[in-house]
Amino acid sequence: MANELQDRKIAILLAPVGTEQAEFTEPKKAVEEAGAGVDVIGLQTGDAQTMNSDVNPGETYQVEKTFSEVSSDDYDGLIVPGGTVGADNLRGNSEAVSFIRSFFEQQKPVGVICHGPWTLVEADVVSGRTLTSYPTLQTDIRNAGGEWVDEEVVTDGGLVTSRNPNDLPAFCDKIVEEFAEGKHQRQSQSV
């Protein structure tokens, strides 16, 4: 896995507050160890407070670029971590939602975990797709036209989803695999 993603550039999202720490750090580490360059994208640059189990403050990490400074054209894949407050912050921002949607329009692979699929619902890219999430999102996903399943990791044509931090080992392995494969035609079928 050491150079599987060499010459690939991955965007990972980080909300100003509320992103689940492990769901940010572990996927970031996995793609970096596979050789990818990673940019941390958010609503504003500077410090972002992560959380552990949604209620306990985690470490602070740096957001390097804002949505207005980047384009999905600059990246080969996207990671959207969870965290109830973090995902809610992202789905409430039109630039973040447009950025996420553009990866699907360009058929690029996307990995989303836990509460992160809220952003996919907001971006209107789950119709006809099979995915998983934190269990409380299943009604939102079904109402948006997706099929929700309770599995550790689900891959649907370039879209990788998992339920919670316990699924991170499988999630990280699968996003590296999908990012290495590159574009997936199925991604644009839900936009």
| Residue range 71-123, pLDDT digits in tens | 999 999 999 999 999 999 999 999 999 999 999 999 999 999 999 999 999 99
Residue 45 domain boundaries: 9-182
State the catalytic residue, choosing from 28, 115, 174, 184: 115
Active site residue 184: no
How many separate domains does the chain show? Answer: 1
Q: Is 21 among the domain residues?
A: yes
Residue 172 confidence (pLDDT): 98
Q: Is 2 among the domain residues?
A: no
Q: Is 118 among the domain residues?
A: yes
Residue 189 confidence (pLDDT): 85
Contact between residue 30 and residue 22 where contact means Cβ atoms under 8 Å apart: no
Q: What is the reported pTM?
A: 0.97
CATH number of the domain to which 161 belongs: 3.40.50.880
Our CA angle for 181, 182, 188, nearest 5°, is 120
Q: Is 187 among the domain residues?
A: no
Residue 129 confidence (pLDDT): 97
Q: Is 151 among the domain residues?
A: yes
| Residue range 142-154, pLDDT digits in tens | 999 999 999 999 9
